[in-house]
Amino acid sequence: MNISEIKQLLAEHKIVLTKSLGQNFLHDGNQLRRIVQLAELRKTDRILEIGPGLGPLTELLLKNCGEVLAIEKDARLVQVLAERFGTPKSTGDDSKSRLRLVHDDALEYLKREPLDWSGWKLVSNLPYSVASPILVELAWSVSGPERLVATLQIEVAKRLMAKPGEADYGVLTLLVQLDYQPIDWFKIPATCFFPSPGVDSACVALLRRPLPLLGTGLRATFAAIVKRSFSQRRKMMAKLLKADWPADRLEAAFAEARLTWQTRAEAVSLDQFVSLTRFLYERRNL
């Protein structure tokens, strides 16, 4: 679907795009094919697509996978998608189609429907305004997708791919990388979208870790440590954590993780945050 076809569809359905919904449609065929390649699709794959818009990516996904669950918030676009792909608008399975089209707020849907996503892949051009919470929601679900392939604002993409010591390394990095390993990414210029957003974008790919770094019971502690540690980036991490844990326990935890008392959060690796979590969790009642 090229830019002329996008404009024609919008005009035929008298749709004026809503800026608050982040409706910037990717029309560049080369970039769409690169996204599909990054997903490494198989004919048996089940794909979660959030914010399909007018369906240019949906069309490619259906050619390369077994099933697509597409969640679209805008009822006008749901109608266009239903007409394009001959799919009934539904919140349930349609056994006659490989596309299941759901009219819903994706973030609310994910919170409301605790599905087992372990046999799925996310492949989406995510709405910029909710991209981060959607990725965290999926990453922290009981059984997350085996692969996350998402087009995002480039600043968010850099945070997802960041390493310790880099300016973009922070809370989002750690909350997602706890369960997902960054694989690859590429930039997408603003001119590849209609209308063109005010920022460049990037597509990232992350693969679910074969074994979890932390058990279910420790995850809340991990999140609390990470969020507190980055609450004031310029401050020493230990001073911030003293608001939640006794100093003597923190000293022992820092020694276990081979961290100095002067360390700032941006220099602490994922493995060291995991070590801190285990130590503090196991001694929480002492």
Q: Identify the pLDDT of residue 99.
A: 96
Tokens 């390649």 belong to residue: 37
Q: Identify the pLDDT of residue 247.
A: 94
Q: What is the rounded distance in angstroms from the CA atom of residue 128 to the CA atom of residue 131?
A: 5
Q: What is the rounded distance in angstroms from the CA atom of residue 84 to the CA atom of residue 101?
A: 12
Q: What is the rounded distance in angstroms from the CA atom of residue 216 to the CA atom of residue 100?
A: 31
Residue 63 pLDDT more than 80? yes
Q: What is the CATH number of domain 3-208?
A: 3.40.50.150
Q: Identify the pLDDT of residue 96.
A: 43
- C-beta atoms surrounding 281 within 10 Å: 19
Q: pTM of the entire structure? A: 0.92
Domain ranges of the chain: 3-208, 216-282
Contact between residue 199 and residue 187 where contact means Cβ atoms under 8 Å apart: no
**pLDDT band per the 50, 70, 90 thresholds, residue 86:** confident
Contact between residue 77 and residue 25 where contact means Cβ atoms under 8 Å apart: no
Tokens 């000293």 belong to residue: 251
Name the β-bridge partners of 202: 152, 187
**pLDDT band per the 50, 70, 90 thresholds, residue 95:** very low
Cis peptide leading into residue 195 (ω within 30°) = yes
Closest to 182 measured CA to CA, from 168, 193, 192 = 168
Closest to 241 measured CA to CA, from 212, 217, 268, 215 = 268
**pLDDT band per the 50, 70, 90 thresholds, residue 92:** very low
Which amino acid does the sequence have at 42?
A: R
For the segment 191-232, what is each residue's pLDDT rounded down to a tens digit? 999 988 889 999 999 999 999 999 999 999 999 999 999 999
Topology agreement, domain 3-208 and domain 216-282: no
Q: Describe the crossing of helices 270-282 and 247-256 by its angle, rounded to 10 degrees.
A: 130
Reported for 241-247, long-range contacts at CB under 8 A and 24+ positions apart, including other chains, are 245/280
Q: What is the mean pLDDT of the chain?
A: 92
Classify domain 216-282 by CATH architecture: Orthogonal Bundle (1.10)
